[in-house]
Amino acid sequence: MTPPAAPPPAAPPRSAEPPPSATAHGVYVHIPFCAKRCDYCAFATFTDRAHLIDAYLDALVCDVERAVAAGMPRATSVFVGGGTPTLVPAEGLARVVRAIPVAPGAEVTVECNPDDVTPALMATYAAAGVGRVSIGVQSTVAHVLASLGRAHGPAAVAPAVRAARAAGIDRINLDVIYGAAGESLDDWRRTLDDVVALGPSHVSAYGLTVEAGTPLALEPTRHPDDDDQADKYDLADEVLGAAGLANYEISNWARPGQECRHNLTYWRQGNYDGFGSAAHSHRDGRRWWNVRTPERYVELVAAGRSAESAGETLDAPTRRLEGLQLRLRMREGVPTSAFVPEDLAEMDGEGLVAVRDGRATLTRPGRRLANAVALRLRA
């Protein structure tokens, strides 16, 4: 946009964004073990460290207990991710979950690989206080799963959902990915229809991204197409919305009241503690992250030392801007004062944002171009 010839008039006082809830406190637990790395995955996961599992789970319990003794608040949400949490012994993971003190009504989620889910596994999780699972479906079309480098087959998904419900775990998120090489729009529609038929309370749908150092990155012919992904995003919003799952963050849809409280803590810049290798933590503008490998994490915890690798403290303007960028992605949007008025008017005219009651929210086209819209935010 061409800057005005004369300085613009002074902006009116900006609307204050609500601070994150003082009572919200998240706990993230990272399980870094996988049987096979997916072609698109750049997470801190390892396929050759299964011999460390028992020692790693012991280290997690010890680390959590030390944090509790040092005054860590009760968690309002717990999220166990990876990696593949369902790859480790269920009782061992349950012991870690039980070590975390939780507030009444806390949301406790475990990521699950469909192939690993059994009624006994879900029963063990439920007995430990797990009330929500996130199942990595990715696609219900076999050749798309193969294109993604996934190990499970489509037939594993429905039994996994049934096993969770039989154990009393009714809050079920299904993760899906669109944009794989060879995935047609009809393939994607089939996945969406299959997911909706399972009646989940929450769906996360992510466009495939190319991360450096992954097998996908080395094969340009398999890279996703932007226009194709835009069409598939629109289809996801139509199908999921028609099924009663409302979009509340760019890549997340939920039934009323079933939004992921743990992720909301992230997106609202709340505080959280991370346990395990490569886990991240945040406390009032300071964030830090642990050593990347499980063996180093085990060594440090066993020696009574901190597993922190590095960290940073955000200055006030940076923290405000990040807060606006995160809220822009959400249904609640941002105050209109977060944009220069001329920019806001232009984006409103282009149909990228909707302005109402002093707030600007992304439209569906705006969600597809969220990064471009976010560049116009001001702290």
Spell out the domain ranges in the chain.
25-267, 316-374
Domain 25-267 has CATH 3.20.20.70: yes
- Residue 59: what residue type? A
Residue 21 — pLDDT band, cuts 50, 70, 90? low
- Residue 90: what residue type? A
Percent of the chain whose predicted confidence (pLDDT) is above 70: 94
- Cα dihedral 78/84/88/94 (nearest 10): 20
Sign for the pseudo-dihedral over CA of 138, 141, 142, 148? negative
Pick the residue with more confidence: 127 or 39? 127
* Cα separation values, 94 from 30, 86, 87, Å: 14, 11, 13
Q: Give the CA diameter of the chain.
A: 70
pTM: 0.92
Alpha helices in the chain (DSSP H): 53-69, 90-99, 119-127, 142-148, 157-166, 185-197, 226-242, 261-267, 294-302, 316-328, 341-349, 364-368, 370-374
pLDDT of residue 262: 98
